[in-house]
């Protein structure tokens, strides 16, 4: 199949990944209502078509946190992304660099900060959770600085891991020991292309950034246990001061759905926020990002940089998010699917598709620059 959309890359990912890995990147929490709403609510927003406007010159560049980038998008942090293709985060950062957009490395990535920095030609962002061991957090932030990371994305909507039924059914979670290893190995063997590319030649299979605390011999089966035992449920707004004391660059707080929380983030000194429900992977039944974004943008859009993620599958979705008040959009599953489907080349192609779709949407809504996108390009009361 020759992919023409992120939906096509999703199908390629389903065909090429072991079942437990595909279910991990594709699934959400509980009944996946919020996961579905993220996509449906965004696609339901009608764009206001305008014609006979000179759109011969379209400018898709923007400035985020003082840096010019070619598109108003970034690659979001994805845990275990490096298992989707051989040393996957390294392939992803190269694709992002070529496209002139930021890449965000997850705390729980397969490739560690130093390996990704060696693969990158431009600075990247680093994502961090609140971890019980503050000294380990200090060490991670120091490593991020040494690796040249220019922004810290601090995820706050995961004080405890969400309950993701698909991960239990597939054998990724809740299947420790030999039986779980055998089940995952069998699923890997059923995907010989992946088994050769990643299973054999993509080692080590570990959580690179946290491998030092997991110990030798740890693998992805320790992923959920480590999160459960080490993520700190005691985290409060007061802890932002600790992050700020260690991180001097742009600080982006990710995982906000409430305008009051957004105001508190601004008060705490954040430079940006990501309006996000963790892709529908944490608390099911909460609002979609498209529903939560406008009141948050209205509340704090003049105080910090508002970003958003969740349900973005096309360039039209990017335009919708920008029209709702975001200054930039994080792509999550879109790049994970593309990486699984065709590695670095898949992400490069996916970003080219997003750009082409954005150009069509801008031309047919009569806007020629990213700054000109507002709610005026949406059909009112749709």
State pLDDT tens for residues 353-374.
999 999 999 999 999 999 999 9
Residue 150 lies in a domain: yes
User: Is 382 a member of any domain?
Assistant: no
C-alpha to C-alpha distance for 334 and 316, rounded to whole angstroms:
13
- 382 has catalytic annotation: no
Q: Is residue 142 part of a domain?
A: yes
Domain count, the chain: 1
Q: Is 254 annotated as a binding residue?
A: yes
Q: With bands split at pLDDT 50, 70 and 90, how would you rate the model's confidence at 103?
A: very high
- Average pLDDT over the chain, rounded to whole? 93
* 332 labeled binding residue: yes
What is the percent of the chain where pLDDT is above 70?
95
Per-residue pLDDT at 314 exceeds 60:
yes
How many of the other CB atoms lie within 10 Å of CB of 153? 27
Determine whether 219 is exposed, middle or buried from the number of CB atoms within 10 Å of its CB (0-12, 13-18, 19+): middle
In a domain, 215, yes or no: yes
Region 188-213 average pLDDT: 87
Residue 244 annotated as lining a ligand binding site: no
Asked if residue 1 is part of any domain, the answer here is: no
pLDDT at 381: 72
Domain contains 36: yes
82 assigned binding-site residue: no
Residue 198 lies in a domain: yes
User: Is the pLDDT reported for residue 216 higher than 70?
Assistant: no
Q: Is the pTM of this model over 0.85?
A: yes
Alpha-carbon distance of 109 to 126, in angstroms, equals 10
CA distance 323 to 314: 14
214 pLDDT band (50/70/90 cuts)?
A: low
Q: 46 or 133, which is more confident? A: 46
- What is the CATH number for 63? 3.20.20.70
Q: Which domain range does residue 160 map to?
A: 6-377
- Beta carbons of 165 and 30 less than 8 angstroms apart: yes
Structure token pair of residue 29: 């929490």
| Residue tagged active-site, from 205, 278, 349, 382 | 278
Q: Please, are residues 262 and 256 in contact by the beta-carbon 8 Å criterion?
A: yes
């Amino acid at each position: 199949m020759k992919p023409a959309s992120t939906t096509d890359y999703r199908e390629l990912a389903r065909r090429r990944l072991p079942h437990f890995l595909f279910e991990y990147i594709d699934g959400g929490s509980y009944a996946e209502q919020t996961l579905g709403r993220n996509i449906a609510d965004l696609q339901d927003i009608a764009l206001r078509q305008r014609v006979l406007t000179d759109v011969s010159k379209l400018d898709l560049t923007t400035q985020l946190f003082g840096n010019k980038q070619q598109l108003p998008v970034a690659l979001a942090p994805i845990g275990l992304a490096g298992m989707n293709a051989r040393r996957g985060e390294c392939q992803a950062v190269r694709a992002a660099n070529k496209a002139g957009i930021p890449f965000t490395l997850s705390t729980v990535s397969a490739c560690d900060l130093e390996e990704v920095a060696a693969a990158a030609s431009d600075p990247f962002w680093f994502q961090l959770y609140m971890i019980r061991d503050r000294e380990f957090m200090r060490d991670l932030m120091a490593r991020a600085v040494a690796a040249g990371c220019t922004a810290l994305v601090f995820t706050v909507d995961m004080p405890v891991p969400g309950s993701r039924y698909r991960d239990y059914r597939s054998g990724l979670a809740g299947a420790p020991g030999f039986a779980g290893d055998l089940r995952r190995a069998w699923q890997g063997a059923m995907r010989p292309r992946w088994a050769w590319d990643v299973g054999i030649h993509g080692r080590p299979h570990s959580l690179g950034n946290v491998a030092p605390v997991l110990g030798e011999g740890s693998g992805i089966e320790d992923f959920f246990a480590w999160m459960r035992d080490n993520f700190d449920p005691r985290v409060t707004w007061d802890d932002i001061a600790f992050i700020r004391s260690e991180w001097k660059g742009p600080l982006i707080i990710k995982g906000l759905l409430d305008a009051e929380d957004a105001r508190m983030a601004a008060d705490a000194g954040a430079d940006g926020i990501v309006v996000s429900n963790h892709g529908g992977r944490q608390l099911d039944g909460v609002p979609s990002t498209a529903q939560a974004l406008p009141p948050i943008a209205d509340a704090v859009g003049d105080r910090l940089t508002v970003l958003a993620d969740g349900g973005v599958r096309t360039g039209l979705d990017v335009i919708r998010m920008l029209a709702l008040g975001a200054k930039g959009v994080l792509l999550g599953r879109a790049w994970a699917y593309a990486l699984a489907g065709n590695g670095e080349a898949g992400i490069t192609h996916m970003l080219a598709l997003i750009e082409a779709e954005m150009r069509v949407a801008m031309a047919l809504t009569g806007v020629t620059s990213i700054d000109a996108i507002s709610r005026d390009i949406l059909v009112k009361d749709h």
